[in-house]
Amino acid sequence: MDKIPNNRAWWLVLPVFLLVAFSALIPLMTVVNYSVQDIFGPGQAYFVGTEWFKEVLTDERLQDSLLRQFLFSSAVLLIQIPLGIGVALMMPKSGIKGSLCLILVAIPLLIPWNVVGTIWQIFARGDIGLFGWGINQLGVDYNYTGSTVDAWLTVLLMDVWHWTPLVALLCYSGLRAIPEAFYQAAEIDRASKWAVFRYIQLPRLKSVLIIAVLLRFMDSFMIYTEPFVLTGGGPGSSTTFLSQTLTTMAIGQFDLGRAAAFSLIYFLIVLLISWLFFTAITHADKEQ
């Protein structure tokens, strides 16, 4: 549809612009302001230039949590995207069974994030949780509050449980948009199931998959509440991800300058990687 050039349309956009500017620009400017100052108290601030940035970039604790974050996000993408596609392929196409599946699969998405943490905190405990008890019963020594590996696996499993439904629902609605004629043509050609998936379903899913990958990357990169409730970042600092490091620094230690510099670097990393993903995928799209 052709759009009419009309600058008066700004009046319609103005409320959104003002609202988002109020809740995004002002805070962002505050962060930039803090990041170049050393603040001791009200009225006692000194301009320190890029000192905080240098310090943050060489801080080992932050590098560690950045590395952990990357490991976690990669694992999340590698597991959830294929699993989500698989689930979407299995969901019934329509009718009451379709609606029912849709709602049941969506349940984890509707649970507040701290409750997701609570559910797994209970579920994975060796003494009162079905999961932890079951694993222990199988003869495996499992304790997510004591062992680093177990804590990691539990956080990862929790995230898979929590967010695979989103990937599945995105793919499911992408699949439903494929016209029936495509499948009929494939049947006439006696295409194998794999061929149908590879040459009909997968290309049609591309646009929703782009969104799924981007969303899962961004959100897993910002994860805070669930691991905070489940493990509190421990044991040690083995499940302390970037957001938690930042929150501790800003609210816990009130280390304003350092936290601000860290915030900006954090935001830039998310923007940069999202942009890289996006251009890589759309570029591959054009070449085909």
Partner 1 sequence: MKQARSKNVGITVFIILLLTPVYWLLNMSFKTNQEILGGLTMWPENFTLQNYVVIFTDPSWYNGYLNSMAYVTINVIITLLVALPAAYAFSRYKFLGDKHLFFWLLSNRMAPPAVFLLPFFQLYSSIGLFDTHIAVALAHCLFNVPLAVWILEGFMKGVPREYDEMAYIDGYSFPKFFVKVFLPMIRSGIGVTAFFAFMFSWVELLLARTLTSVDAQPIGAIMTRTIGASGIDWGVLAAAGVLTIIPGLLVIWFVRNHVAKGFALGRV
Which residues in 202-221 contact partner 1 (CB under 8 A)?
207-208, 210-211, 215, 218, 221
Stretch that binds partner 1, among 41-49, 53-61, 237-245, 279-287 (CB under 8 A): 237-245
Residue 30 one-letter amino acid = T
Interface with partner 1 (CB under 8 A), residue from 91, 153, 196, 281: 91
Q: How far apart are CA 227 and CA 122, in angstroms?
A: 13
Apex 11 CA angle, 6 and 14, nearest 5: 125
Decide if 73 contacts 221 (C-beta within 8 A). Answer: yes
Residue 19 as a binder of partner 1 (CB under 8 A): the answer is: yes
Stretch that binds partner 1, among 129-137, 139-147, 148-156, 181-189 (CB under 8 A): 129-137
Instruction: Report which DSSP code applies to 197.
Output: I
Q: How far apart are CA 140 and CA 147, in angstroms?
A: 12
Residue in this structure with the two tokens 């899913």, named with its chain if needed: 205
Interface with partner 1 (CB under 8 A), residue from 271, 276, 280, 284: 271
List the interface residues with partner 1, window 33-52 (CB under 8 A): 34
Interface with partner 1 (CB under 8 A), residue from 64, 153, 161, 232: 161
Decide if 65 contacts 241 (C-beta within 8 A). Answer: yes
Interface with partner 1 (CB under 8 A), residue from 63, 192, 247, 253: 247
Q: Please state the closest distance from residue 199 (CB atom) to partner 1, in A.
A: 18
Q: How far apart are CA 17 and CA 243, in angstroms?
A: 27
Which tokens is 122 given? 């209970």
Nearer Cβ to partner 1 (89/191): 89
Decide if 284 contacts 61 (C-beta within 8 A). Answer: no
Which tokens is 6 given? 């009309």
Nearer Cβ to partner 1 (48/214): 214
Which tokens is 132 given? 């932890």
Q: How far apart are CA 191 and CA 180, in angstroms?
A: 15
Q: Please state the closest distance from residue 172 (CB atom) to partner 1, in A.
A: 7
Residue 95 one-letter amino acid = G
Stretch that binds partner 1, among 24-32, 45-53, 70-78, 147-155 (CB under 8 A): 24-32
Residue 105 as a binder of partner 1 (CB under 8 A): the answer is: yes
Residue 186 as a binder of partner 1 (CB under 8 A): the answer is: no
| Number of residues near partner 1 (by CB under 8 A) | 96
Decide if 261 contacts 35 (C-beta within 8 A). Answer: yes
Q: Please state the closest distance from residue 253 (CB atom) to partner 1, in A.
A: 11
Q: Please state the closest distance from residue 13 (CB atom) to partner 1, in A.
A: 5
Stretch that binds partner 1, among 52-60, 141-149, 165-173, 196-204 (CB under 8 A): 165-173
Q: How far apart are CA 202 and CA 85, in angstroms?
A: 9
Q: Please state the closest distance from residue 115 (CB atom) to partner 1, in A.
A: 5
